[in-house]
Structure 1
Amino acid sequence: MEQSSYLTVVKSNKVVEASYMLTLAEQRVLLACIAQIDSKAVLTENYRFEVTASGVADLVGLDNLSNAYRDLKKAAEKLYERSVVIDDPDLENPQITQRKTRWISAIDYVPGEGKLVLSFSLGIIPYLSQLSREFTKYKLKHVARFESVYSIRLYELLVQWNSAGEREIEVEWLKRQFQVDEKYDRVVDLKKRVIDPAVEEINQHSNIWVKYGQRKSGRTITHFQFQFGLKDKPQSLEKKHLSEEEINRQARPGETRATVIARLTGTSLSEIAKPGETFDQALQRKNSLAEAKKKLR
């Protein structure tokens, strides 16, 4: 399968928020296969997906094809054993609180052709096909250059809430879903090894920008607070008009009108808006500050 076949990844939100651990090579193989699925069509366990070393190398920009062959072979060795744990998997049967399933049911490695051929398991298929609601969709090219599995996982968690532009994630929940709860006892180590490299890669290689802060309970950091948006999203409200009804509906407790508009349009005014200030006033003050800085240079 050539790179042109690797287009869009669509996953049920249940899988986006599931608990699992994959190597980077394994993640790339699975995403390359998922990107070949018509998410609205029927998928059976008999359908066979192909991933080639040359296709993955083109996708991720590997100059050394031997490394692509090596990574594909490594993925073939362990991928069959990998599993995923899905919380509350069946909305129609709330008594089932957790489901554990393999990602794939069969895998073949063809060394002479540098190719993997695999089938998804029956347990995971409902979360990859015939999706009509509660799913996350993104272009595979936006995560193709990531070098960390955590970058891919964090990116998915953010674009799942793309329309909000903000997401607060509990530290302990994130550690469980990323399966690093026994690896990083200290939040400072989690940030250094997982969060900071992921944020850096997302900002460098993907179609969104992201920054984050943290919320404490006493002296303990309990949540990460992410802000994010499309890099090419218009930053001026002049290009996006919001009705008063929409502003009032989207307003959060304690937010000024200026803050609401800034958040919904992706501008940075939410950081400088003053209580009671209108959006136009905040924008004018920001522009005035910018002009004053220019004169001081």
Structure 2
Amino acid sequence: MKEVKNVNAGKEIAMSNTLVAGKYSLTKEEQNLIFLVASMVKREDKEFHRYKISLSDLEKATGVKHNRVRLKQLMHSIMSKPVWLNKEQTKIANWFAYIEADPKSSALICEFHWSLMPHMIQLQEYFTKAERQLLFSFKSKYSSRLYLLLKSKLGEQAGYANIVDCVLYVDDMINDFDLPKSYSNRYSNFKNKFLLPALEEINQLSDIFVTYDDKDHHRKHGRKITNIKFTVSKVAETEEEFKQKLLDTKNKEDYIPIEASERLREVVLSDELDLDLYYVRSIFRHHHLHDIERVCDDTWRNWDNKKIKDRKRVFIANIKKLEKKPEENHKLPFGFEEV
């Protein structure tokens, strides 16, 4: 039996361009689990290990709170969703060879399938690297798919230019990304529901900038648009600029821990309190969640108290009375409670 490795997740993932271009159908939760485990793989490794992932890290990566039933569903689902490794669909592989839920340590133990080793370790050429946190930050699972594919095209010619053109076929994207089949018959749906939102996220968040051209009549068969020309360029930015870009795209709800109650969410996000994004970020960073819950419960109970003229001022004053803590609420351990 293989040894279980407690490896700190790295900042980047690396995958072969073949794997990046593979055909697969995953939920965003499943996709982010793969990115999380991939960030633990070292390019210099000679084989895959079994990696232990804490539930807190898993929940931060996927944005989903996992109990025993939810974990079982995730494990079963991802083990039944393989990846096709070539356009001819003659090579297929599972993402994982083994997944185990370990209730004693509140962790998930994962091992990638051995057939993916050429696509994730000992990589020398034709591979793509990406910031793990960037991939997590995309709101749509399709944005990360298109980002990785376009970045791989840029990387293939990186030695020659910082700007490259590439042509992708609409039907290939629909098929490989598992987009709704109806997009094949109505390009406007493909464009408005997939292409434009994905490019907006990529250009707003990532280290590449992408423009597209679908108006070239030489690439049309009749009136149907069959392919799109993309122009991909590198964006130079410092690490601080990258972090600030991620921060600027967040909203108040992003800073509320997954395990917070619905009442807390309703109070903190209420229009009447109108709390600033940076203030919301600050209170969850500096105070214990159970203390914040108590303040929110008190605010809720006194919501209709006519003696309180300024609820926001009272709320902030009560938060100031709370004891500060050194760690983040998002790092609270989670168990395998029943539902």
Hey, what's the Cα distance between the residues in 2 that align with 1:142 and 1:2?
23
Q: In 2, distance between residues paired with 1:8 and 1:112? A: 29
Say whether 1:7 aligns with 2:11: yes
* C-alpha displacement of 1:102: 0.7
**Helix, strand or coil at the partner of 2:137:** coil
- Aligned partner letter, 1:127: H
Quote the Cα distance in structure 2 between the aligned partners of 1:28 and 1:184.
25
Partners of 2:195 and 2:102 lie apart in 1 by: 36
Q: What's the counterpart of residue 46 of structure 2? A: 42
CA contact (8 A) 1:168 1:226 kept: yes
TM-score, L = length of structure 1: 0.65
1:39-188 paired onto structure 2 within 5 Å: 39-44=43-48, 47-58=49-60, 67-69=64-66, 74-87=73-86, 98-111=90-103, 113-162=105-154, 163=158, 164-180=163-179, 182-185=181-184, 186-188=186-188
Distance 2:59 2:167 in 1: 35
Per-residue CA deviation, residues 226-251 of structure 1 (Å, 9 max, x unaligned), is 223233369xxxxxxxxxxxxxxxxx
Q: Deviations over 1:19-56 (max 9, x none)?
A: 11111011111011111111232114xx2122233224
| One-letter code aligned to 1:116 | L
Q: Which has the higher contact order (CA 8 A, sep 6+)?
A: 2
Question: Quick one: structure 1 residues 196 and 114, their matched pair in 2 at CA, closer, same or farther if it must change by over 3 Å?
Answer: farther
Q: Which runs of 5+ in 2 are unaligned?
A: 239-339
Moved over 6 A (4+): none
Task: Report the CA distance between 1:126 and its aligned residue.
Answer: 2.0
Give % identity: 25
Write the deviation string for residues 78-101 of structure 1: whole angstroms up to 9, x where unpaired: 11111000117xxxxxxx972011
C-alpha RMSD of matched pairs (Å): 2.8
CA distance in 2, matches of 1:53, 1:165: 40
Q: Distance in 2 between matches of 1:204 and 1:113?
A: 38
Provide the residue aligned with 2:29 in structure 1.
25
Cα distance between partner residues in 2 of 1:113 and 1:195: 42
Contact residue 103 and residue 124 of structure 1 kept, 8 A = yes
Deviation at 1:204, TM superposition (A): 2.5
Unaligned ranges ≥5, structure 1: 89-95, 235-297
TM-score by length of 2: 0.58
